[in-house]
Amino acid sequence: MNRYFHALIFCSLVFLSIGRAQEAGEEARSVIKITPQTAKPSVMAMVPFDETNAFFLNKRGQVGVAKFSPGLSLIGWEYYSELKWNAHPSLAVGPNYSVIMASTNEVTQAFDTDADVELDFFQALIKDWPGRDRGSIITAGPVADSHGRLLFAISAPSAIPAGEGEEAPVEKSHIVAWHPEADKLVTITESQLPIGAFAVDRSGVLAARLVMPEYKGGFFISLTELPPFDSDAPSAVPTSLPFTLPSLVIPAELTKNQEPTELAFFREHGRDKLALVCPGSRQLIEVVHSKIADVWQGSILLRQILDQSIESVVEMGPGLLLGGGEDGFIPLNGESSKFRITNIELADDGIVLDFSDEVDRYEASRADNFLVQSVSLKGGESNLNVVPMIESDGRTIVLKTGTLSEGTVIRIQCQRLPSESGATLLSNAAFYTIHRKPSPEEGKEKADPR
């Protein structure tokens, strides 16, 4: 079956129906031609099953399969199921091209049992979890991790009434893991805030979007490492449970006050990054995260302003991002050609800014073109004195600010800083959250990733 499905992948405009017939000792392959489609599917979620094929979920909850060129141009798409499923915008791929999706009360695995390229069996894979009897529901997921587990987020259950004189325990949201060989769900992280979406990278770093609607200044992203997984003891409860704390605040200023919804890890220029989509403002936000003294922090940058709104983003291949929205699939190939800040790092006595193109050296050398503010996570802010220094390649500026404080968000505004060719910055504001300062060795290493 897999062999035949792969035949689909490599046959342009031909969509495979897995045949069972025998002919001359070999199985015959029946095919369905993909009709050239003028209609674009709405795309609320995607999951690739290789670098040029992906399953997707449309806004009506139907599952489709789409084929792309290596450059991520859409070749064609077909429904994989026309059933309308009230699923969260997240999909995972199971064995034999089964598709896993989740709604508030069920994780469902859908199979094509008769190999006719249509999902026909929908197994209620998970219907129970801790706190379900007290109203806990699935809020995000499923997401597959590198250990073959399915992860999904559940809301905090209603509190058990406390006895007289006792304090009611604070119930928390969780991300739980399901493994086929485990006899129970394993809680892998907990959070005081509800989890609206999350992603996991290859190395087990979890990024979760935390829901805190009453805070208007920005949007919380938590970065934690998942506890280690022992394949010999898949039901083992982690000895230490990571707590999903807000690691980064995506400033509302950068998203035009629109909430980021879905997020995806990707790798570019040897760095792991996180992309976040803001459908309301068509902004694509990029987080370049780093771990310093066991705490995750990093820079928050505007990566792209899109022509169309997208609801979801996935990495199809290294550095190859694909967006999906009401207008179908949108390749986000490579970096934006716009002049922009591509990274921020901390140095011993300041900040290192990387740019996508050479800066105008005259403007870049003027201190009054930079406004650097240190905003304390506990409240209060101050402006920092800046002495800019331009690296010889013209693409890096070191802003000497003196010692930076931990527990702050650094806001950098490049007030008038064109590129050497006169292009204006995509966004003149960029941010860095500092929980811990790097040691001198770390700082040197970070400042020069080469």
Partner 1 sequence: MRLLVPLIAVALSALSALLPVQAQEDAPVSSESALPVGLSVKLDISRRLLKNFLTDETALIPYRNGTETPNDFSGAFSLGSPKARHVPIWDPVSCRLVGILDLKATDSPYLFLAEGPMPTSRTSGVSGEPNYFGMRLDRGRPEFLYTHGPLTVAEMIWLEDDGEIMKQRFSFRKVKGDISLVFPASWVDRITASSGSFEDNVLTVPRESAAEITLLYRLLEGAPESDADKDPQ
Contact 372, 411 (CB under 8 A): yes
Nearer to partner 1, 48 or 323 (CB): 48
Segment interacting with partner 1 (CB under 8 A) among 34-42, 146-154, 237-245, 286-294? 146-154
SS3 at position 361: helix
Using rule CB under 8 A, residue 83 touches partner 1? yes
Q: Give the number of other CB atoms < 10 A from CB of residue 342.
A: 24
Q: Which of 16, 72, 125, 302 is close enough to bind partner 1 by CB under 8 A? A: 125
* Cα 58 to Cα 444: distance, rounded to the nearest angstrom: 46
Cα separation, 183 vs 104, in Å, equals 22
User: Which class for 79: exposed (0-12), middle (13-18), buried (19 or more C-beta within 10 A)?
Assistant: middle
Site size for partner 1 (CB under 8 A): 44
Please identify which residue in 7, 31, 40, 49 interacts with partner 1, judged by CB under 8 A: 49
- Name the one range near partner 1 by CB under 8 A: 36-44, 47-55, 259-267, 429-437: 47-55
By C-beta, is 322 or 414 nearer to partner 1?
Answer: 322
* Candidate list 35, 86, 385, 439; residue touching partner 1; CB under 8 A: 86
From the CB of 341, what's the least distance to partner 1, in Å?
A: 31
d(CA 93, CA 45): 12
Tell me which residue has tokens 């449970």: 241
Query: Within 335-374, which residues bind partner 1 (CB under 8 A)?
Result: none
- Residue of 315, 205, 318, 311 lying closest to 262 (CA atoms): 311
Residues 6+ apart with CB under 8 A from 85: 57, 61, 62, 63, 101, 103, 108
* Among residues 115, 150, 330, 344, the one that binds partner 1 under rule CB under 8 A: 150
Question: What are phi and psi for residue 391, nearest 5 degrees?
Answer: -70, 160
Q: Provide, rounded to whole angstroms, the least separation between the CB of residue 231 and partner 1.
A: 9
Q: Which stretch binds partner 1 (CB under 8 A): 90-98, 266-274, 275-283, 367-375?
A: 90-98
Residues in 56-75 that interact with partner 1 by CB under 8 A = 60-61
Query: What is the C-alpha to C-alpha distance for residues 397 and 419, in angstroms, rounded to an integer?
Result: 12
Residue 121 CB, nearest approach to partner 1 (Å): 4
Q: Which is nearer to partner 1, 157 or 388 (CB)?
A: 157
For partner 1, the binding residues (CB under 8 A) are 47-49, 60-61, 82-86, 92-96, 98, 100, 103-106, 109, 111, 113, 118-125, 127, 135, 137, 144, 146, 148-150, 179-181, 202
